[in-house]
Amino acid sequence: MTWNLFRGTVCRARGEVCSSDGRPVAGASVTVDFLKKNIFTGAMWITQASTVTDENGR
């Protein structure tokens, strides 16, 4: 479930990066650029992902 959420985030990031930079960037670079451009969004996503993982771990 967490992996599907991660893939969705990467796909959204890829779309934004392509439209802003004008060229596609694949893989982890997209995620890094996305997090750099959206620090708050990245922090919120990491917090949510960690919370989901902790709840599933209990």
Residues 15-28: pLDDT tens digits? 544 444 445 555 55
Helices marked H in 1-58 — which ranges?
A: 2-21, 28-37, 39-57
Residue 49 pLDDT exceeds 60: yes
What is the model's pLDDT at position 8? 53
In whole angstroms, give the CA distance from residue 4 to residue 24.
Answer: 21
In whole angstroms, give the CA distance from residue 47 to residue 27.
Answer: 22
Long-range CB contact pairs, 32-37, < 8 A, 24+? 34/9, 34/10
Six-digit token string for 58 = 């209990």
In whole angstroms, give the CA distance from residue 9 to residue 42.
Answer: 10
pTM score, two decimals? 0.23
